[in-house]
Amino acid sequence: MIPHLVFFDVDNTLTESKQPLSARKVELMTELLRHTKVAITSGAKIALITHQIPDQLPEEVRSNLYMLPASGSALYEYKDGEWKAVYEDLFTPEEVEEVRAAFLNAGTDTGLIDFNAPSVGERIEWRGSEMALTAPGQEAPIDVKAAWDPDRSKRMKLREVLLPLLPNYEVRIAGRSTIDVTKKGIDKAYGVQQISQYLNIPIADMIYIGDALYPGGNDEVVKKSGIKTHQVKDPKETEQLMETLLAS
C-alpha cells in the first residue's frame, strides 16, 4: 500500500546535484502523484527545486505536490496556477550579515577557503530562510564539489568553528560541499511536523526517502520526527523504489 504522503530528498536521491528529473523519473513521479501526495525537501532554494521537479511534471498533478526548500524552513503548495508559500521564516538583513560574517571567519580561520580566489558561482548564498556556504561555488561541476571534501572532514572542521559563532542557528553539513544554516529548531524534521499538521496526515502514514539517513548524514535529522525512512544509494535505486511503490 502506498503511504498517504511520500517525502523525497532531492540531490543524490531523485537527481544528481542541481539536475532536473530524468524522463523515467518524470513518468514515475507523475503516476505516483495520481495515487498519493508527495513532498520534496532539500537545502536548495525554491527556484532551483521548482526547475528540478515540478517544472518537469504535467500541471494537472502538481496540486498533490508540496515543496519544502531550504531544509524545511519553508513550505510551498500549488494554488491557482502558481507556487505559494504556506509558511516561510525569512532571514532578516541583520541575520544574513551575521551568518555571512561567521562563514567568512570560519573559512579564513581554518585556512580552508580563500575567499579572494575565483569560484564557480557565489560561495555564500542567501536562500530566503536559509544561508549556505559552498566552498567551490554554487555552480561548480558535480565532480569538483565531490572532490573538495569527499570524507566530510573539511566541513566538519568548518562546522566546529561555526557552532560557537552561531549559537542561535542550526548548522548542518549538506550535499557534496555545502554547509547550510537555518534558524534554531528549523530543519527537515520540523518540515515533516509542519506538513503533517497542515495536511492532517499522521506522520505514521508517511515515508521519507533519502540518500543520507546514516549517522551524520543530512537526512538523518528527519528520524527524530518519527517518520518511517528508506535509505537509497543513488537516483537509480530511488527509481527502482518508486516502481515498487507503484506496483503495490
Whole-angstrom distance, CA of residue 74 vs CA of residue 139: 23
User: pLDDT, tens digit, for every residue of 105-137?
Assistant: 999 999 999 999 999 999 999 999 999 999 999
Taking 90 as the threshold, does the pLDDT of residue 216 lie above it?
A: no
Asked if 51 and 125 sit in the same domain, the reply is no
Which of 136, 152, 183 lies at the terminal end of a domain, its last residue? Answer: 183
Taking 90 as the threshold, does the pLDDT of residue 142 lie above it?
A: no
Asked if 60 and 131 sit in the same domain, the reply is no
Whole-angstrom distance, CA of residue 179 vs CA of residue 197: 28
pTM of the predicted protein model: 0.88
Confidence label for 18 from pLDDT (cuts 50, 70 and 90): confident
User: Which residues have C-beta within 8 Å of that of residue 239, sequence separation ≥ 6?
Assistant: 22, 24, 25, 28
Residues 129 and 182: beta-carbon distance below 8 Å:
yes
Confidence label for 176 from pLDDT (cuts 50, 70 and 90): confident
Percent of the chain having pLDDT more than 90?
Answer: 90
CATH number at residue 161: 3.30.1240.20
Asked if 72 and 140 sit in the same domain, the reply is no
SS3 141: coil
| Mean predicted confidence (pLDDT) in 223-235 | 97
Domain hosting 208: range is: 5-89+186-247
Specify the length of the chain in residues: 248
CATH number at residue 81: 3.40.50.1000
Which of 156, 183, 210 lies at the terminal end of a domain, its last residue? Answer: 183
Would strands 124-126 and 131-134 be described as parallel, antiparallel, or unpaired?
antiparallel
The chain-wide mean pLDDT, for the chain, equals 94
State the sign of the Cα–Cα–Cα–Cα dihedral 14, 16, 20, 23. Answer: negative
Confidence label for 175 from pLDDT (cuts 50, 70 and 90): confident
Asked if 113 and 161 sit in the same domain, the reply is yes
Query: Taking Cα atoms as reference points, which of 21, 20, 150, 165 lies closest to residue 103?
Result: 165
